[in-house]
Structure 1
Amino acid sequence: MKNDENFETGASHGLPHKTRAEMHESLPVAVKNWLQTTGALDHEPIRSVRLKQTGTIKLKPEQRDWTASESEQISYTNPPAFRWDVKMKLGPGIYVTGKDSFEGGKGSMRIKLGGIMPISKTMENEKTDQSSLQRYLMELAWYPTAALGPYISWEEEDAHTAMATLKYAGLKGTATFYFDEQYELVKVEAWRYKESDEDSRLVLCTGTIKDQQRVGGLKVPVEIEISWLLESGTFTWYRFRASDIRFNDR
């Protein structure tokens, strides 16, 4: 992974420019109202967002106990990219580290025991790239001004639901955003590859927002649950709370 200075290019790749007002006018009503509610319309464009996460993880559905975790993430909007570093404590003096990233249209994930010995590496292929793109899109609420950017288009589903489509680096992903009566975002769903092997199939991934707070002039999610809808039922694998959220802080 490149360092932060190189990680964000800031290039527009020659995409046609529209003013924020023009972009906002073309959005579904629910998305318009959501951006108004979050404060995104009056906020400077978000180029990057840094945050920390404290939570619990289950690596497998059959796992009975939750594993404590701490992580840090940085995401960029132009072009779309993110890096997520997690540390999970398995027992006294035993921990596992993981790195999940999306850069230049390529996704990657690695897990190491003690931060040294590799115990898992996701195959870096089109399925990994696609799943990483979908993750980025699902996390749009941390950088809502990107909803007005050149990479994302919107389609209205109903008065409180809209589908976002993200196109970047030859990839295309979609996610459905659900809003409540006050037009606050309550849930995001996307079909993603949970695994990257040849036999893996798309699985519905859901991010449920449990709490939101106003940070730096924006109302953003701070408590979230991430689940997969497996054939055996819903598997909630990650529950966390976000803190130390900083915008445009390189």
Structure 2
Amino acid sequence: MELVQHGRIKIGSWRRFWAHQIISGDGYLWASTTRVLGLPVRGYDRLIDGRGDLVHRIAGKIAVVDESGPDVSRSAAGRLVCELCWVPAATLGPDVTWSAVDDDTARVSLDYAGATYDAEFTIDAAGGLRSVRTRRWASLDGQPYRLHEFGAQIHRSGTFGGFTVPQHVTVGYGFGGSEWPAGAFIEIVLDDAVFT
């Protein structure tokens, strides 16, 4: 599936961004563009074959971020299980299992690259997705990698190609706790989704 997005991303301060994402139950490539000090910042977040990479550069030359390795891969896989909400058909794959948490919440578990990643999807009374949350492996504020509360608040859903998916989402760390919404780092608006 391919997503076309725009929104705001926090890089020091909130900045506008535009992105294209290709996503499946096997991984993703998120290519984005924003601006810092008037200069273009282009790059990608990628998870392919269990390997995660983050590469974003100012004017194609100065690295804003250039990371890979086991910690980045583990963090990227945690992101993937949350982003299954944009790929409804992938949630029915053989590597995905569902279990009830309560009347409004289901746990989705994704077996990926030799590990299992869980997320909780909370549904409203009409059956629409309200939020997604997990504990995601990350290094925040220069601290060592560890698990952090992570999630997405779904403000609005839209229907594309017959599938209803989140269309306006705020994503970040500290989700569901006292650190929210200060831990939010990206607000995404889905402009189009093409299911293949």
Distance 1:204 1:98 in 2: 26
What's the CA shift for 1:161? Answer: 0.6
Match of 2:82 in 1: 138
> Which stretches of structure 1, 4 residues or longer, exceed 4 Å deviation after superposition?
none
Whether the aligned pair in 2 keeps the contact of 1:105 and 1:171 (CA below 8 Å) is no
Whether the aligned pair in 2 keeps the contact of 1:130 and 1:171 (CA below 8 Å) is no
The answer to whether residue 112 in structure 2 is matched with residue 179 in structure 1 is no
The answer to whether residue 146 in structure 2 is matched with residue 201 in structure 1 is yes
Unaligned residue ranges in structure 2 (runs of 5+) = none
Give the secondary structure class of the aligned counterpart of 2:174. Answer: strand
Distance 1:91 1:52 in 2: 25
Distance 2:73 2:144 in 1: 16
2:30 is aligned with what amino acid? W
Whether the aligned pair in 1 keeps the contact of 2:128 and 2:157 (CA below 8 Å) is no
Distance 2:14 2:121 in 1: 28
What's the CA shift for 1:70? Answer: 0.8
Match of 1:111 in 2: 56
Summarize deviations over 1:217-248 as a string: whole Å, max 9, x none.
Answer: 11111111002118982211101211121011
Superposition RMSD in Å = 2.0
Whether the aligned pair in 1 keeps the contact of 2:32 and 2:44 (CA below 8 Å) is yes
Give the structure with the higher percent helix. 1
What's the CA shift for 1:193? Answer: 2.0
Match of 1:89 in 2: 35
What's the CA shift for 1:117? Answer: 2.3
The structure having more radius of gyration, on CA atoms, is 1
Whether the aligned pair in 1 keeps the contact of 2:158 and 2:165 (CA below 8 Å) is yes
Summarize deviations over 1:76-135 as a string: whole Å, max 9, x none.
Answer: 23xx1100011111243x12122101111111111211122223222411x222211111
Give the secondary structure class of the aligned counterpart of 2:144. Answer: coil
Distance 1:198 1:166 in 2: 27
What's the CA shift for 1:182? Answer: 1.3
Whether the aligned pair in 2 keeps the contact of 1:57 and 1:66 (CA below 8 Å) is yes
Normalized against structure 2, the TM-score is what? 0.90
Q: Percent sequence identity over matched residues?
A: 26
Distance 1:143 1:119 in 2: 29
Higher relative contact order (CA 8 A, sep 6+): 1
